[in-house]
Amino acid sequence: MSDLPAPRFLHRASPPHIMTLVLLTGLAALSMNIFLPSLPGMAAWFGVEYGLMQLSVSLYLGLSAVLQVMIGPISDRYGRRNVILGSLALFLLATIGTLTAPNATVFLMFRMAQAVIASGMVLSRAVVRDMVPDAQAASMIGYVTMGMSLVPMIGPVVGGMLDEIWGWQANFTLLLILGVVVTALVWADLGETAAMQPVSFGDQLRQYPELLTSPRFWGYVLCAAFVSGCFFAYLGGAPFVGTEVFGLSSSEVGLYFAFPAVGYAFGSFLSGRFSVRIGMNRMVLWGVIVTTGGLLLLLLLTLAGLHHPAIFFGMTTFVGIGNGMSLPNANAGMLSIRPHLAGTASGLGGAIMIGGGAALAAAAGAMLRPGSDEMPLILLMLGSAFAAVLSILGVIRRSRRLGLAG
């Protein structure tokens, strides 16, 4: 962390340590996936079908996308610190509710309420943008997301072990304990970084056109949505490919899922290390080129008849690397368009990313039918990556026309 540039604080002399932001985003990520191995046991516990318990995933993501649109403007008005602490308090209450729920319906209600922790992901980016300029923001976001990328690797593993030893409630107990720790840390370390604006929430929402009419904002958002969409499509289709196409067991599929996560950690490290030196836009471009190149090579190998899980899953490492390089910089870019609306931009951009990614995941599931091979998923991911390349090229062209660096 010593290689981080000295930040230029804009609104407060005591901003949070980067580890506080890493833990905040990590808690938000962990709440998404730690309990996934417990879903069958939870269905049996509540006496409902497995499909009903799966709503604890889809409803959570849907509400998370909606909340991301609202959290940004609220934080621009009332401050990052107040909104994050309020969200953490609600998350703790909702987690207690999941542990005490008498039936599946009540559990799902509290599970949806847990989605308020999405503020941790949204506002950690906004806090970074409050603290430092564009390129330095991309660097710090890279370090934050590098730490967050470890959670998808270890979350389900830890959740499965806890479930096996103590039952599904152990997962939510761990979330409660970690929530208390993170709340205490945020209370002690996170000072206010936003220049709060004396406008109403409605006035904040009416400022959306200021972002939505910016071609550069859309360029960054679409680039982020398409490049992350590669991974969302992978999440939607890779389990089918692993089990139905390659005949892997669920544990083997879980091990192969580590490839893109490791790649993402490495790509985020590269982003944190070199974004200031290389420039935000060029770092995004190199990232989406890495993703596209890896998927194109996977397509050629598959067309050549090389069908093997090590090839398919191994090549998705490039998807992770490219995401790690491009997403922190694309996020910093969308926040830089209107710095006074950084929270709004973070929430709106995050909602578009999640919505687009969910659509691609659903498309992957619809395209992969019994008897399908891995080719439909590869083509969908490659098409999304190519769209990301076109999006960032549009941003670069317009930035040059406006005489902007990056």
List the one residue out of 79, 31, 113 whose CA is nearest residue 195.
79
Mean pLDDT (whole number) for 77-102: 91
Model confidence at 12, pLDDT cuts 50, 70, 90, reads: very low
**Angle, CA 306 vertex, CA 302 and CA 308 arms, to 5°:** 100
Predicted local distance difference test score (pLDDT) of residue 4 = 42
Mean pLDDT (whole number) for 311-331: 90
Q: Over the stretch 29-67, which tens digit does the pLDDT of each residue have?
A: 888 777 766 776 788 899 887 667 767 776 777 788 788
Q: Over the stretch 261-280, which tens digit does the pLDDT of each residue have?
A: 788 878 888 887 887 788 88
Predicted local distance difference test score (pLDDT) of residue 301 = 95
Task: HSE, CB side, 13 Å, CA atoms: give it for residue 305.
Answer: 0
Which residue type sits at 388?
A
Predicted local distance difference test score (pLDDT) of residue 61 = 73
Predicted local distance difference test score (pLDDT) of residue 2 = 38
pTM of the model: 0.68
Q: Over the stretch 225-262, which tens digit does the pLDDT of each residue have?
A: 899 888 878 876 776 787 778 887 756 766 777 788 78
Predicted local distance difference test score (pLDDT) of residue 155 = 72
Could you give the domains of the chain?
A: 16-190+201-206 (1.20.1250.20), 207-401 (1.20.1250.20)
Predicted local distance difference test score (pLDDT) of residue 51 = 64
Q: Over the stretch 162-177, which tens digit does the pLDDT of each residue have?
A: 887 888 899 999 999 9
C-beta of residue 304 within 8 angstroms of C-beta of residue 280: no
CA 174 to chain centroid, in Å, comes to 21
